Structure 1
Amino acid sequence: MKVTYNSWQKEYKNPFGAIQANSAVKWSIAIDEPVQEVILWLTKHNESPVAYPMNYDEQTKKYETQVKIGSSGLYNYYFAIKQNDQMQYVDQGLFGQGNLIQDNHDLNQFQLTCYDRKVPRVDWYEQGVVYQIFPDRFANGNPHGEITGRKKNSFIYATQEDDPYYIKNTRGEIIRWDFFGGNLAGIRQKIPYLKKLGVTTIYLNPIFLAISNHRYDTADFMKIDPMLGTEKDLRDLIHALHQNHMHLILDGVFNHVGQDSIYFKAAIKDKNSHYYSWFNFIDYPEKYQSWWGVSSLPEVNKSNPEYQDFIYGENGVLAKWTGMQVDGWRLDVADELPMDFLRNIRTRLMKENCQVMIGEVWEDASNKLVNSKFRPYVAGDNLTGVMNYPVRNFVTNLLTTDEDAAEISIMSKLASLIEHYPSNFLRNCLNNIGTHDTVRIKTVLHDNEKLVAIAFGLMFMLPGVPCIYYGDEAGLIGKKDPDNRRFFPWGHESQSLINKVSAWVKLRKQNKILVTGKIAFMHFNVGVNAIIRYDEKNILIYCFNRTDQDIVLTKDNLKFYCLPDSLVSVVSSALDQVQLAAQSDLIKRKRIAVK
């Protein structure tokens, strides 16, 4: 018995991908032999499965059923086929293709994401390019490089070329923080560089008063860290960015504060302090709940109404800074913030006419479980997008694996993510190949700038907003924290990489297909693959060879995934006999009416 089902093709599942609540979905499955019964089993998370009989359609020659999905949430489905009084099952194979199996144990069920409403599409963000800056490590804008706001029990590096280094005690706790002296004025002075690169939005790691150099240990949410500058410096930066048609996203750290924060110090000094209820003490005052057990980061009681009002109330943190025309927020450890907290933050930002709210979620945000409870991040009423770490995994894995099957599996996993996310949410995701929490992309790829260039190409080809981690485009290296937070190599940049990234930014701005187009994949052999973006009129093909051998593509050996049959011959012809030098890439454009 041959069974055909493909969730990427509308003749089998319509509409494609995630759906909005109160929408109907039509499923069809082709079977080449007579069978007694075909059933679609559909399950909503934590609810009992529901059986939907599928009827044979003489015209389409498929078994079909249509179901109206009434409420948003996480759904899974598979097919059961009865033949000769025996049951067989169809679960998910690679790239949404049906996989016929004999038993229903450990089924790899298909996912159906259902959301309440669409998240907003913000042109400047969706169509732009983001640049992430670790403020202490980018540029010092003071007249003679002087450093203000020096901190107690810390040290400042002698030169900008020094390697970051932590001084820790015997318990592994950092007891001396290190600084280079980057500041807001320096970022403002480097706007011409960023503009020339093609950057349209800056995303800053935390800028509020803190003890550390990373400032995820907030001491006072209402103050700019004096080492970075003043409120006037922030206003000047925002004004300068807007004058250059650029935007600013700030980092909101609302899950925990610093041990030296004004809030926590007040709480441990006096039980009667109104800050006492902001924290969860286990054995007052020495033992308390902290982020991942790190005592220097006391966790805040996010359910406390007073704390919530402090963050998103009329006179709260978000109102103050967003009122300065900040354009968006990235929320640290969003998966540790309660859903009602996220929803109320979103409501506050909407009141401030701020439509960009990106959450730090490292996994597939459509099916994220926290303590076995489903977190509806893509529902439309909280996050507008997430930091797309699966894109980084896709890029680094694809450029380092040595097996055909592994490469195909890596591409299939990304295809699943694309299928799971609502289209607007997907376009809002902040794609990256490196951040302040990961090893530098050049280090991952063993200092090979040709492969780094391919990594950038892959990131720009994928749905979502590309985000460049400061210095990656300049060839900066670095292992895990703190080494991945070196100072920007001014005067020692890799010009070839900068030129490559600039070209990709320009290509993205000139080709809307990279923002709104559909996606498909091609595999030739180990190390030789392609990403294909297409719409009703155009096809853009990005093909790369990461091996150390020159190769020639032949159309008979190309394998396509998620590509409509009507386009296979077009793309095959475009790539036939194409020569790819070792560790190189190329872009092919085709104009065609897609059926």
Structure 2
Amino acid sequence: MKVTYDSWQKQYKTPFGAIQANTLVTWAIAIDQPVQEADLWLTKLNEDPVAYPMNYNDETQKYETQVRVGSSGLYNYYFAIKQNNQMFYVDQGLFGQGRLRQDDHNLKQYQLICYERKVPQVDWYDQGVVYQIFPDRFANGNPYGEVTGRKKNSFLYATEEDTPYYIKNSRGEITRWDFFGGNLAGIRKKLPYLKKLGVNTIYLNPIFLATSNHRYDTVDYMKIDPMLGDEDDLRGLIHDLHQNGMHLLLDGVFNHVGQESIYFQEAIKDKSSHYYSWFNFINYPEKYQSWWGVSSLPEVNKSNPEYQDFIYGDHGVLAKWMKDQVDGWRLDVADELPMDFLRNIRNRLMKENCQVMIGEVWEDASDKFVNSEYRPYTFGDNLTGVMNYPVRNFIVGLLTSENSDAEIALMNKLALLVEHYPTNFLRNCLNNIGTHDTVRIKTALQNDEKLVLLAFGLMFMLPGVPCIYYGDEAGLIGDKDPDNRRFFPWGRESRSLIAQVSKWINVRKQNPVLVKSKIGFLHIATGINAIVRYDEKVIMVYCINKNKAETVLAKENFAFYCLPKTIAEEVAAELDQTKLSGEDSILRKIPRKANIG
């Protein structure tokens, strides 16, 4: 018996991927012989599975069923077939292909996300390119480079070329924070560079008063760190950004504060302080709940009504900074914030006409569990997108893998993400090939700028919003924290890399197919792979050769995944017999010959 099912093709499942609540879904499977019985088994999380009989359709020659999925949730499904009084099962293989099995032990079920409502699409955001800046490490805009707001028990580097270094005690705790002196005025002065590069949005790591250089240890949410400037500097930066058609995302750190925060200090000085209930003390005042056990980062009690009002109330943190026309927020450790807390932040931002709320979630956000509790990030009422670290994993893996099986597995994992996420949510995800929490992309790729350029190309080809970590486009190197937080190499940039990244930004601006279209994959040989994006009018294909040897592409070696046959045929005809140099790529734009898929 041969059974065919492909969750990526509309003749087997429609609509594709995640669905909105109350959507009618059609499933179909092709079986090469009549069977006694065929059923779709659909299970909602924490509920009993339900069997839906599949009836044979003479017109399509498939067994079919339709189910109206009424409520949002995390669902899984598989197929069961009875033939000659024996049971067979169809679960998920690679790239949505059905896999016939003779037992139901450890079935790999298909996942189906049913979301409550669509997240908003904001043109400037999802059609744009974001640039992430670690404020202390980008530029000093003071007239003579002086550093204001200097902090006690810290040190300043002698030159911008110094390598970041931590001074730690015997317990591994940082005892002296290090600073270069980057500030908001410096970012403001470098806007012409960023505009010429082509980015339209800046995402800043935390800017509020803190002890450290990274500022994830907030001292006062209502003040700009004086090393960075003041509120007038922030307003001036936002004014200049908006005058240039650019936008600003701020980093919200609401899970924990710094040990020196005014809130925590009041709590440990006076047990009767109303701030006492903001924290979870284990043995007052010395022992308390902290982020991952780091004592310098006391965790805040997010269920405390006063703290909630302080963050998202009418006179709270978000309301204050939104008055300065901030355009969006990235939320630190979003998977440690309660769902109601996230929903209320979203509600506050909606009241402020702010539609961009990106959460830090490192994994596939559609099936994330925290402390055995499902976190419905994709349901539409909380986050509008997440930081897409799986994209970085895919790109770095593809450019460092050593065999075809590993590359195909990476493609399959990315395909699963595309299938799991609602379309709007996927388009809102903030893609990256590096952040302040990862090894620099150039270092990850053995300082090979040709591979770095391939990495940028792959990022710009994938669904989601490209986000450039400051300096990556200039060839900045760096291992894990703190080495990945070096100062921008002004005067020592890789001009050629900057020029090529700028070209990619223009390619994305000029081709809407890279913003809102479907995706497929092509594997040719170890180290030679392609991303295919397509809509009703055009196909764009980006083929890379990470190997050092030149190759001639031959269509008999092409293996396509997640693509309609017509698209695959058009791509094959375009690339066949093309010469591809080592550590190089081909970008082709192909007008559609057939309006399919």
The runs of 5 or more residues in structure 2 that have no matched partner are none
Which residue does 1:594 correspond to in 2? 595
* Residues 347-496 of structure 1: pairs in structure 2 closer than 5 A: 347-496=347-496
Distance 2:472 2:99 in 1: 41
**Aligned residue identity for 1:192:** P
Q: Does 1:530 align with 2:530?
A: yes
Q: What's the CA shift string for 1:14-35, capped at 9, x where partnerless?
A: 0001100011100000011222
SS in 2 for 1:378: helix
1:262 to partner: Cα distance? 0.2
1:82 to partner: Cα distance? 1.1
Which residue does 1:76 correspond to in 2? 76
**Aligned residue identity for 1:275:** Y
SS in 2 for 1:460: helix
Distance 1:497 1:92 in 2: 41
Q: Is the 8 A contact 1:89 1:102 kept in 2?
A: yes
Q: What's the CA shift string for 1:110-152, capped at 9, x where partnerless?
A: 0001000000010000100000000000000000000000001
Distance 2:226 2:505 in 1: 34
Distance 1:269 1:48 in 2: 52
Count of residues paired in the alignment: 595
Which residue does 1:123 correspond to in 2? 123
Q: In terms of mean alpha carbon deviation, does 9-18 or 560-569 score higher?
A: 560-569
1:496 to partner: Cα distance? 1.2
SS in 1 for 2:285: coil
Which residue does 2:163 correspond to in 1? 163
SS in 1 for 2:454: helix
**Aligned residue identity for 1:484:** N
1:243 to partner: Cα distance? 0.5
1:208 to partner: Cα distance? 0.2
Distance 1:198 1:591 in 2: 26
Which residue does 2:9 correspond to in 1? 9
Which residue does 2:174 correspond to in 1? 174
The runs of 5 or more residues in structure 1 that have no matched partner are none
Distance 1:399 1:85 in 2: 49
Which residue does 1:584 correspond to in 2? 584
* Residues 57-456 of structure 1: pairs in structure 2 closer than 5 A: 57-456=57-456
Distance 1:156 1:198 in 2: 32
* Residues 550-565 of structure 1: pairs in structure 2 closer than 5 A: 550-565=550-565
Distance 1:425 1:266 in 2: 40
Distance 1:568 1:468 in 2: 31
Which residue does 2:39 correspond to in 1? 39
Q: Is the 8 A contact 1:88 1:100 kept in 2?
A: yes
Which residue does 1:569 correspond to in 2? 569
1:105 to partner: Cα distance? 1.2
1:199 to partner: Cα distance? 0.6
1:53 to partner: Cα distance? 1.1
**Aligned residue identity for 2:339:** M
**Aligned residue identity for 1:87:** M
SS in 1 for 2:238: helix
SS in 2 for 1:366: helix
**Aligned residue identity for 1:578:** T
**Aligned residue identity for 2:188:** R
**Aligned residue identity for 1:594:** N
TM-score, scaled relative to structure 2: 0.99
Q: Does 1:521 align with 2:514?
A: no
Q: Is the 8 A contact 1:567 1:594 kept in 2?
A: no
SS in 1 for 2:377: coil
Q: What's the CA shift string for 1:254-279, capped at 9, x where partnerless?
A: 00000000000000011100000000
Please give the root-mean-square deviation of Cα atoms over the aligned residues, in Å.
Answer: 0.6
Distance 1:506 1:66 in 2: 43
Distance 1:429 1:568 in 2: 27
Q: What's the CA shift string for 1:518-562, capped at 9, x where partnerless?
A: 111100000000001110010101001000110000111111111
SS in 2 for 1:194: helix
Q: What's the CA shift string for 1:349-370, capped at 9, x where partnerless?
A: 0111111000000011111111
Q: Is the 8 A contact 1:88 1:101 kept in 2?
A: yes
Distance 1:229 1:569 in 2: 57
Distance 2:372 2:595 in 1: 43
Q: In terms of mean alpha carbon deviation, does 85-94 or 201-210 score higher?
A: 85-94
**Aligned residue identity for 2:34:** P
Q: Is the 8 A contact 1:566 1:594 kept in 2?
A: no
Distance 1:480 1:569 in 2: 43
Percent of aligned positions with the same letter in both sequences?
Answer: 76
Q: In terms of mean alpha carbon deviation, does 34-43 or 135-144 score higher?
A: 34-43
